[in-house]
């Protein structure tokens, strides 16, 4: 899965499920879009579906530090690498 | 120090309509909101003997952003809508709502049963795949205090939170405890109410107790029949209501429109059986309420009876009213129009009573065609009466032996 494919999927998810439209990849989602801890948990459920693999508790804890779309993509790439 | 408490806004979503104009029109025209239960419900509907329900079968135009809807189950949609309407009606600004002097007293029977069912699915999945899907959002949507805190979140309310969940006395406790919070100076205003969503679990509970109406499945509008000789049990319903209570001087200084005054409240427990109606408990609650309101029985002109239409409950209530009030006050069982809206019945019946005081009309108990001789010692309203009533009492009783008695006074 390429970085571009991951970005496209995340942008689609943010638009369809979180009503976040045309964000910048480095926008702080919490500050700019009020993306809170409840949203973060929900996003991780979608990520699990997207990568077709459940996340570990440790991975979820790491994900709670994520603030931008680029961070989300970095996180997904790291998880996918570990799964190989 | 005791302070006067007034009602400065109200809103209700009920099986006979949404908003005063719609609801009052249906009350005076004797329109029932009881319909057949939803056939598409494949959970319990086909197993139930009772096929009737007080249903909200009209669209409600919600205008909530996703920021807030992500933690709303169906019950909280109702709750937030009626809260929004009282805030708008009373013209409460954000500074006041977030001042810490405005609180919330709001509850439901048990949160959102619809969302709870989604959670329980994980229990019955042999591989427990659904476990990871039990998340914070589901809890926030379904927990017992979901209505109260979703309202505080949506409107930035920072005062005290009271989230009663005492089944059929939830709404009346919300008003009563809100009244006490203002009366004794703890808050200047309280948004008080309750809500319950469509749910067949509640019907099943009463159905299995043989307490639900089953004889009118082919004529839903003919049931429930409070105090009628042919009554055959209660009809479960859904709905929501909210009133804004405000300290009198606070309301006056704001230039708020005052709708009525809350003059007394009592709550007690039977101290024993959790289900059976208890005449001594009801009588004690009435006496405590009258004392709290500093009223004599003869001062009360109208009683909204709890009157669920069960065989024993209606008799016990009629006898208790007679014992404490004699034949003085007019008595109507308002559940005859909408069924038993569970947690919200107390606040909805208070709002219906408020409308009647304002309009100088007392509506009859619907379907009361032949009064049960065992209930015939009080002054039942069997046809619409145009009359000026100054003080009314709203009575509610709940599983668990909880009784409440609320007193409101017409604002002139």
Find chain B residues with C-beta within 8 A of A18's C-beta: 66
Separation between Cα atoms, residue A38 and residue A16, nearest integer Å: 16
Interchain proximity A19–B66, CB inside 8 Å: yes
Separation between Cα atoms, residue B3 and residue B408, nearest integer Å: 15
Residue B67's closest chain A neighbor by CA? A34
Q: Are A64 and A47 in contact (CB under 8 A)?
A: no
> How much is the pLDDT for B128?
66
Percent of chain A residues past pLDDT 70, beyond the cut: 100
> How much is the pLDDT for B354?
98
Find chain A residues with C-beta within 8 A of B70's C-beta: 38-39, 42
Residue A65: pLDDT above 90? no
Interchain proximity B136–A39, CB inside 8 Å: no
Residue A45's closest chain B neighbor by CA? B133
Residue A46's closest chain B neighbor by CA? B133
> How much is the pLDDT for B6?
98
pLDDT digits (tens, 9 = 90+) for B201-238: 889 999 999 999 999 999 999 999 999 999 999 999 99
Q: Where are the alpha helices (DSSP H) in B187-297?
A: 200-208, 248-254, 279-293
Separation between Cα atoms, residue B385 and residue B362, nearest integer Å: 5
> How much is the pLDDT for B130?
65
Find chain B residues with C-beta within 8 A of A39's C-beta: 70
Find chain B residues with C-beta within 8 A of A34's C-beta: 67
Say whether B43 sits in a helix, a strand or coil.
coil
DSSP state of B131: G
For the full predicted model, state whether its pTM sits above 0.90: yes
Interchain proximity B135–A45, CB inside 8 Å: yes
Is the bond leading into B224 cis (omega within 30 degrees of zero)? yes
Q: Are B108 and B146 in contact (CB under 8 A)?
A: yes
Q: Where are the alpha helices (DSSP H) in B121-230?
A: 136-142, 146-155, 170-183, 200-208
What does residue B223 show for φ and ψ, rounded to 5 degrees? Answer: -140, 150
Residue in this structure with the two tokens 């059976």, named with its chain if needed: B276
Interface of B with A (CB under 8 A): 65-67, 70-71, 132-133, 135-137, 140
Interchain proximity A34–B67, CB inside 8 Å: yes
| Exposed/middle/buried for residue B168 (C-beta within 10 Å: 0-12, 13-18, 19+) | buried
> How much is the pLDDT for A38?
86
The helix (run of H) or strand (run of E) holding residue B317 is helix B311-325
Angle between helices A69-83 and A3-18 (to 10 degrees): 120
**Does residue A52 belong to the interface with chain B, where contact is any CB pair within 8 Å?**
no
Interchain proximity A41–B135, CB inside 8 Å: yes
Please give the average per-residue pLDDT across A1-28, as a whole number.
Answer: 94
Pick out chain B residues at pLDDT < 70: 40-42, 128-133
> How much is the pLDDT for A1?
85
> How much is the pLDDT for B132?
65
Residues 6+ apart with CB under 8 A from B16: B22, B23, B26, B27, B31, B32, B33, B337, B338
More confident residue, B128 or A45: A45
Nearest to B396 by CA among B386, B410, B407, B383: B407
Separation between Cα atoms, residue B9 and residue B258, nearest integer Å: 8
> How much is the pLDDT for B307?
98
Interchain proximity B136–A54, CB inside 8 Å: no
Find chain A residues with C-beta within 8 A of B140's C-beta: 38
Residues 6+ apart with CB under 8 A from B280: B270
Nearest to A40 by CA among A5, A72, A77, A7: A72
Contacts across the A-B interface (CB distance below 8 Å): 22
The helix (run of H) or strand (run of E) holding residue B96 is helix B94-97
Token pair belonging to A39: 């949203």
The helix (run of H) or strand (run of E) holding residue B11 is strand B5-14
**Does residue A39 belong to the interface with chain B, where contact is any CB pair within 8 Å?**
yes
Find chain B residues with C-beta within 8 A of A48's C-beta: 132
């Amino acid at each position: 899965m390429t970085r571009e494919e991951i970005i496209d999927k995340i942008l689609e998810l943010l638009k369809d499920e979180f009503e976040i439209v045309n964000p910048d990849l480095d926008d702080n989602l919490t500050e700019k879009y009020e993306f809170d801890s409840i949203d973060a948990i929900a996003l991780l459920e979608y990520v699990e579906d997207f990568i077709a693999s459940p996340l570990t508790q440790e991975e979820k804890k790491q994900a709670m530090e994520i603030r931008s779309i680029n961070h989300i993509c970095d996180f997904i790439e790291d998880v996918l690498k570990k799964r190989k | 120090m005791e302070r006067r408490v007034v009602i400065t806004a109200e809103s209700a979503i009920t099986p006979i309509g949404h908003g005063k104009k719609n609801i009052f029109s249906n009350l005076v025209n004797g329109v029932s909101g009881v319909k057949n239960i939803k056939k598409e419900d494949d959970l319990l509907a086909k197993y139930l003997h009772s096929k009737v329900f007080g249903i909200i079968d009209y669209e409600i135009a919600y205008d909530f952003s996703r920021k807030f809807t992500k933690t709303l189950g169906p019950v909280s949609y109702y709750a937030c809508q009626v809260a929004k309407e009282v805030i708008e009606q009373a013209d409460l600004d954000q500074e006041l709502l977030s001042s810490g002097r405005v609180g919330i007293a709001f509850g439901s029977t048990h949160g959102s049963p619809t969302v709870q069912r989604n959670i329980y699915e994980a229990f019955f999945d042999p591989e427990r795949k659904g476990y990871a899907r039990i998340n914070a959002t589901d809890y926030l949507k379904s927990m017992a205090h979901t209505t109260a805190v979703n309202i505080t979140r949506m409107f930035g309310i920072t005062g005290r939170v009271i989230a009663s969940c005492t089944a059929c006395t939830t709404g009346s406790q919300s008003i009563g405890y809100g009244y006490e919070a203002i009366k004794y100076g703890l808050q200047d205003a309280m948004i008080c109410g309750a809500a319950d969503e469509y749910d067949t679990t509640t019907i099943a509970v009463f159905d299995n107790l043989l307490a639900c109406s089953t004889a009118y499945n082919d004529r839903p509008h003919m049931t429930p029949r409070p105090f009628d000789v042919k009554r055959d049990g209660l009809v479960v319903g859904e709905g929501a209501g909210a009133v804004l209570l405000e300290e009198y001087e606070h309301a006056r200084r704001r230039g708020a429109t005052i709708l009525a005054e809350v003059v007394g409240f009592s709550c007690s427990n039977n101290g024993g059986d959790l289900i059976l109606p208890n005449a001594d408990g009801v009588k004690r609650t009435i006496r405590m309420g009258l004392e709290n309101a500093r009223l004599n029985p003869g001062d009360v002109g109208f009683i909204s009876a709890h009157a669920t239409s069960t065989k024993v409950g209606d008799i016990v209530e009629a006898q208790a009213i007679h014992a404490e009030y004699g034949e003085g006050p007019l008595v109507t069982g308002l559940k005859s129009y909408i069924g038993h809206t569970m947690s919200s019945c107390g606040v909805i019946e208070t709002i219906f009573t408020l409308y009647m005081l304002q309009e100088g009309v007392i509506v009859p108990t619907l379907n009361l065609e032949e009064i049960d001789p065992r209930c015939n010692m009080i002054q039942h309203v069997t046809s619409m009466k145009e009359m000026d009533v100054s003080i009314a009492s709203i009575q509610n009783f709940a599983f668990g032996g909880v009784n409440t008695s609320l007193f409101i006074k017409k604002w002139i």
